[in-house]
Structure 1
């Protein structure tokens, strides 16, 4: 790796009383660190730049006597690994809840030794979906036009209940056996790559599960915030930026726990910080990842986040990493992105953030009545705020995700508004993310329960009466929308204007919002009509961006139309035109 230093955490009874020794060309023990827990020893190795892959033994000694030994392997890197290309605006990300997508291997639904078994009748239980289920349906994902897969966390979550969501890690280096194995995760990555699909791993730096093995024997007294006792976070992320904030408010936000079963990690401890940094780098290298998505980004220590992103980007300059900062204030969201103008001397190497401000503006724009301050104007205002971001074209845009009501439900199951929303997400600036099942109108009517929002994808289980994969039992509407996604996503792949181009937009007028995506080779015009009736759009105003185009192709219908003096735009619709 670029960083020649490697820190090993060693855990064994009274291991701190020993002295480690090794003999391997190119590897030296630079120092050894101990904590207030004699069951831990931290070995700091220095690796020469020409060190060879191989296996060596670390002996733990009392004087001349070896009391224990461990065989350690330095693995070879794949060619050009450091130069891997991360996900980008050329991609569309498919967000999957692994437990709820497809059950490819029923034999691992319940595992001896793990606390929670399968219970498909429980909305918060484990339903049996796994990595094999994703592998088995890669053809479907490819056919639909998705080019990246972001799964909710796949690390071991050996919790008593609600372990399916994955956000209570109990082992950072082990894929949960109910999903498969580390080797199967690599197989997924390799087979996905063979179909032009990258894998994005969901990373949790802020907290662990209360059943993590650390909690039974903490590496040090300060490993967990608040002395290892539950004290809730305030969720007041604004305190980090508030010029009038008191220190105690900042501490309560950063150091507080989400819930009693999610102990909050103290990343100010340099040993823990190194562990988390090395773990993320190891997974990128081992599983050949195309990116990372970081859960609850701002809840971790700020200086740690700066160091974590810096070291990852030093190893993989072209990787993409997106942080989740659930704020609808673009000034707060943009703070974390590299290149943004900040109110402090905080250094960020984070390439991307989730665009929550645009998500809420999109819903407001489509559901609130038109006025001087509401309607499509809100969508326009969201993009007009892009000046606060270091790179707005590298934001992840979405209509919904795994933590909120599905977009079809947010729009009261209005099919026209749904198509407008998804047309916007898939053609605006940034990297689109689509939650699994959106392409077949999955919804959560009458509830915001996460177990219902993350319902099973139909067809992922052998006894399902309908299937999103084959189309069996789907309604006409579902088949229509699936075709809509397939057409738009596969066209998007070949559109340089959408995947690489700039965006120019016009202030909304008369219930219409018009924007253009363009490169030297291609121009695309997108028209959103919020009105309940057909509305004429005079084209004279758009002469500059039309750039002399006389005809255009409707991307969704392949119909060729003449660009005369005006266009008639259907009620509550999005028209996507490839200018010719």
Structure 2
């Protein structure tokens, strides 16, 4: 029987009372922990975990809840229920589990109504700028959850690899800062439970796919964070991990199937040879050594070739998008998962949410391999990918080298030009996520030898070039990691996020003049992106660099345009505009962003400062 939501609390109390003879009932767990009526897929598979539940029969007293089949695998404690939900209505359904003629469990399963226009949600686009946050290091909004009973890894702010206390409430408290600076999307490193003994703060060793780590908050608080961010015009991107789990995940003690974890649950390192997946001369053994291997002993590698695990991971992603109203997903270590699974996973997500954006992490500086994963790119093997976006690591690496290397015929800014000239290999280069750094590499200010001029050139390029820019928290105030590449130092605390911090970057108090200058520059560029959409959505056109100067344009069919000039020279330069006549012929004047300098573009020149980046709006 379907139970109305109004009656549910009373009935649940009655059901709980009737099950007092079944002490193991408290151990029963159903994943996903609820679903929605009206989803695109008419199928749902429940994973039910409970002592000795395998082999049970399942009944439900409502014809709308159609059980197609019930399966057990190798563990005696798991049951999988396939349901046809094509005609399901919102409400609460009572499931009864019977074994050897004896009722052993009862539980309530809830289908909720979907939010209006949920399927049509708009994911992040070129218009957006993503702010990447390490939540443990951003702001401590709730000191009561810094250490939690039952979790070994306690708060230790002095340890680079320890938990420092940042949390979801801290991000909520500073949404105004994020929005007012001009960021329109937040991507936080994983927030799901990481019940690991140490280094749990980074979030990539998940021990519960359906639970926010209590040291960060709760599921409800995460949803509140998303709602409040949305009210300020900021979307939320969730960092998802499909390739591996944490070694303390319950699956390691009780695998649903023998093949749930690669190499029978024993550590065997990956080769990291991603090239093997694309090698026309290669062998399957090398491919499996890459995709089936583990990162480290504490991160067991999942076998997504198991169809039940495939369904589990697909449904988990959909559940979080729907539950938390996400605007996008970032997928960690994308290519390490099974290729066929990735095709299924992305196809299911994009069928449920056609406009959702998903970006995969493929850490390679080879653009051919990066392009392979993006939908609509050419692939010699015919692989079907529905992945909309990929992290543009080739551009990140090239940008740093282009700014630091000597200007010669083949080095310097020309390397950036050469890379972008190869954009034809991508299905959509404008939908790549571009960045100067992230949580796994030295900060961009450090990579550029703490040169403010080079930092400014990098930021100007990233916020005006093709693609969707991502800025790592603290970049706007020149956070650095001098003399070390320790990840715990790279992911240092944001000043002002903890009580009694001597510097409060959120309030712009205590910053050095250079830090204040950097913050104002980022804020100005983000304002430029919002006020002049041509900078974010216009066609990208560039001219080959000459004599240490690189000029490119963003233009649209409405007659709007922007010209960006990067000058790496140590001296001021007089840039003759006649060379750029193929683009400039459509315009008459250029106004420099940030001041009132306005010039005619006809037979004119522009004086540009040494080691500088300038943006000129065209009319």
Q: 2:277 aligns with which of 240, 245, 257?
A: 240
Aligned residues: 579
1:565 — aligned with what?
604
Q: Assess if the C-alpha contact under 8 Å between 1:27 and 1:48 holds in 2.
A: no
What is the alpha-carbon distance in structure 2 between the residues aligned to residue 340 and residue 494 of structure 1?
Answer: 32
1:178 is paired with a residue whose SS is: coil
1:403 — aligned with what?
440
1:37 — aligned with what?
75
What is the alpha-carbon distance in structure 2 between the residues aligned to residue 520 and residue 554 of structure 1?
Answer: 21
Pick which of 17-26 and 440-449 moved more.
17-26
1:523 — aligned with what?
561
Q: Scaled by the length of structure 1, what TM-score is found?
A: 0.99
1:404 is paired with a residue whose SS is: coil
Deviations 1:247-276 (A, max 9, x none): 111111000000000000000000000000
Q: Scaled by the length of structure 2, what TM-score is found?
A: 0.93
What is the alpha-carbon distance in structure 2 between the residues aligned to residue 60 and residue 539 of structure 1?
Answer: 77
Deviation for aligned residue 1:64: 4.1
Deviations 1:171-228 (A, max 9, x none): 0000000000000000000000000000000000000000011111111110000110
Confirm whether residue 93 of structure 1 aligns to residue 152 of structure 2: no
Deviations 1:143-169 (A, max 9, x none): 100000000000000100000000000
1:181-200 matched pairs, under 5 angstroms? 181-200=218-237
1:555 — aligned with what?
593
1:133-282 matched pairs, under 5 angstroms? 133-282=170-319
Q: Assess if the C-alpha contact under 8 Å between 2:407 and 2:547 holds in 1.
A: no
What is the alpha-carbon distance in structure 2 between the residues aligned to residue 558 and residue 488 of structure 1?
Answer: 16
Deviation for aligned residue 1:372: 1.7
Q: 1:299 aligns with which of 301, 312, 336?
A: 336
What is the alpha-carbon distance in structure 2 between the residues aligned to residue 525 and residue 156 of structure 1?
Answer: 46
Q: Assess if the C-alpha contact under 8 Å between 1:293 and 1:321 holds in 2.
A: yes
2:617 — aligned with what?
578
Q: 1:430 aligns with which of 451, 457, 467?
A: 467
Confirm whether residue 504 of structure 1 aligns to residue 562 of structure 2: no
Q: Assess if the C-alpha contact under 8 Å between 1:484 and 1:556 holds in 2.
A: no
What is the alpha-carbon distance in structure 2 between the residues aligned to residue 408 and residue 80 of structure 1?
Answer: 41
Consecutive aligned runs of 4 or more in structure 1 exceeding 3 Å deviation: 561-564
Q: Over the residues paired in the alignment, what is the CA RMSD in angstroms?
A: 0.9
1:70-85 matched pairs, under 5 angstroms? 70-85=107-122
1:542 — aligned with what?
580
What is the alpha-carbon distance in structure 2 between the residues aligned to residue 401 and residue 559 of structure 1?
Answer: 35
1:15 — aligned with what?
53
Deviations 1:223-250 (A, max 9, x none): 0001100000000000001111121111
2:62 — aligned with what?
24
2:570 — aligned with what?
532
Q: Assess if the C-alpha contact under 8 Å between 1:496 and 1:519 holds in 2.
A: no
Confirm whether residue 416 of structure 1 aligns to residue 416 of structure 2: no
1:506 is paired with a residue whose SS is: strand
What is the alpha-carbon distance in structure 2 between the residues aligned to residue 210 and residue 525 of structure 1?
Answer: 51
* Gaps in structure 2 of 5+ consecutive residues: 1-38
1:368 — aligned with what?
405
1:325 is paired with a residue whose SS is: coil
What is the alpha-carbon distance in structure 1 between the residues aligned to residue 583 and residue 107 of structure 2?
Answer: 66
Q: 2:526 aligns with which of 485, 489, 493?
A: 489
Deviation for aligned residue 1:558: 4.4
